[in-house]
Structure 1
Amino acid sequence: MNIIKFIESFTDENFMKATGNRRDSFGQFGKLGKNLALASIPFGLSALVNKTYAADITPTPNTPIGALQLALVLEYLEDEFYQMGLSSGVISPLENGGRDLKVFQQIAQHESDHVAFLIAGLGGTASANFVAKPTFDFTAGGLFNPFNDYPTFLALAQAFEDTGVRAYKGQAVNLMSSPDLLTAALQIHSVEARHASEVRRLRGEKGWIVRDDRGGLPVQAQGTYDGEQNVTQGGYNAAALFGIDAGSAAFDEPLSTQATVNIANLFIV
């Protein structure tokens, strides 16, 4: 099983009729543990994944509820990451004259608001559509040390924010049938984009993605940037006037549900 199958099982009407009450089953979400981590190929670390799980791929959820549920999982991840970062003390109050700490305090507030907003949008914690927060491991099994090393914390923050921006864009098609939900998602998307730009600048990077350049992040983060080198938009070659770097940077690409899940699953235990 992977996170996509899990989400789809709770948006499937046949399942709804068969059980009568899906809410009781959401307690399983936090117990999926290693099954979620092995269900897809995270961050391109395919060599570490049992090949029998690599084919366990399911279609993108194509419902507004499925899109919101996936968004909630991503917001859970970001919210907990920033809360842990702030409580760990990894962000020095002296960093950049205290500016970095203020930035992440503000971002953390935004992410907490996003979580609360999406839960409310799904009908609250008592709703059958509610998705409980999974258990996260931000070391990714020991690969990273974000709460004791500030550059690593910054690197993961950039990867999470860049992923979030593209993921919201990728879910737009699943929200088009519900204009109110699409509007709400776009309101969050624009804030995530501001977060991404700010965090990238804190790392000394440009505020936007150029081609598929991961900006010095570990190779495991490449999945977040793959596809961004595209310069053809609606048949128009955006690189024709100013070159490939400007052409790719002028447009941001959507991230598919499966690609988003592959990234998130690295940090779900």
Structure 2
Amino acid sequence: MNLLKILDNLSNEELLNTKSSRRGSISQFKNTSKNIALASIPFALAATSSKAKAATASMSAAAFQATPTEVLNFALTLEYLERNYYQIAMDTDGLIPEADRAVFAQILKHETSHVDFFKAAVEGSGEEAIAEPTFDFTGAPGGLDLDPFGDYPTFMALSQGFEDTGVRAFKGQAGALANDNALLTFALQVHSVEARHASQVRRMRGQKGWVTGGTAASNGLPDVFNAIYAGEANTVQGGVELATLFPTFGGAPAVQEAFDEPLTMDEVLAIGGIFIVS
């Protein structure tokens, strides 16, 4: 099965929008959740009760950082940005080489589905979906002067930046949906597809498929993108310093790559705001 087929299956529009499919997905999620949870417990964390309590308290606090509607509108804003970015790129003659167009056409299809899903989720809750912002992908609102639709390497670099930001953004808001199993399930489905987008674009740029280090430079981008990777050099997970535990398996760099770090809503909006006019 090729990459495009895998991505298409993981962003199945019928799965995202059909009630019966949602119920089946949630049922399957419930049936396997206990085994998944047991298999994923960090042994060092489980053996340190005080650190486990601290981690649990932190997760609980995250659940009150925003309402589900606020999180959905936040996600919708990010999806608007990505959809518009790829739509403009696909409509720009001569920008994307023919060999790469199928990949970005598929990503655009996913982002369009994500916009439709999050907008319907907000409106289905009886709230108003956030209006689509006006974007300036030169970065002029943030003092930048980029040319993503006139220079393919710049387009690719900004694509990586948007995708890497999106992955961390979804992770940062998962706690706010902890009490809504249906929304959390579908948000995580979108999150995993965004991670695959990020990995694909990174590899197309000659980078590793995962974030490495805590700077833009360590991820093949100019320093102006440092905010996207701030905190990714962390080696402490669940209150346990892991960098010295696996010296023969890559040490600190390997630990940094093994864990994605969340971004707060304010951090993401500061990054996205560089490209939002109004």
Question: In the alignment, is the contact (CA less than 8 A) between 2:166 and 2:194 conserved in 1?
Answer: yes
- Partners of 1:62 and 1:211 lie apart in 2 by 29
CA distance in 1, matches of 2:145, 2:221: 13
Q: Whole-Å Cα distance in 1 between the matches of residues 224 and 116 of structure 2?
A: 30
Residue of 136, 154, 157 corresponding to 1:155: 157
Indicate whether 1:164 and 2:166 are aligned: yes
Equivalence for 2:257: 249
Match of 2:266 in 1: 258
User: Could you tell me how far apart the structure 1 residues matched to 2:88 and 2:262 are?
Assistant: 28
Letter in 2 for 1:116: D
Match of 2:84 in 1: 80
Q: Which runs of 4+ in 1 moved over 6 A?
A: none
- Who is 1:232 aligned against? 236
Partners of 1:82 and 1:74 lie apart in 2 by 13
2:96 maps to which of 86, 91, 97: 91
Matches of 1:197 and 1:84, distance apart in 2: 22
Matches within 5 A, 1:1-269: 62-89=66-93, 90-93=95-98, 98=99, 100-123=100-123, 128-141=127-140, 143-214=145-216, 215-239=219-243, 240-241=245-246, 242=249, 243-269=251-277
Give me the whole-angstrom Cα distance separating, in 1, the residues matched to 2:115 and 2:136: 19
For this pair of structures, how many residues does the alignment match? Answer: 204
Structure with larger RCO (C-alpha < 8 A, sep 6+): 1
Any unmatched runs of 5+ in structure 1?
Answer: 1-59
Alignment TM-score, normalising by the size of structure 2: 0.71
CA positional deviation for 1:238: 2.7
Residues 147-196 of structure 1: per-residue CA shift (max 9 Å, x gap): 01000000000000000000000001111121111111100000000000
**2: CA distance between counterparts of 1:129 and 1:255?**
25
Per-residue CA deviations over 1:10-45 (Å, capped at 9, x if unaligned) read xxxxxxxxxxxxxxxxxxxxxxxxxxxxxxxxxxxx
More helix by share: 2
Give how far 1:119 is off: 0.7
Which ranges in structure 2 are unaligned for 5 or more consecutive residues?
1-63
Question: What is the identity percentage for the equivalent residue pairs of Structure 1 and Structure 2?
Answer: 50
3-state SS, counterpart of residue 123 of structure 2: coil
Assess, with a 3 A threshold, how the Cα gap between structure 1 residues 237 and 86 changes in structure 2: closer, same or farther: same
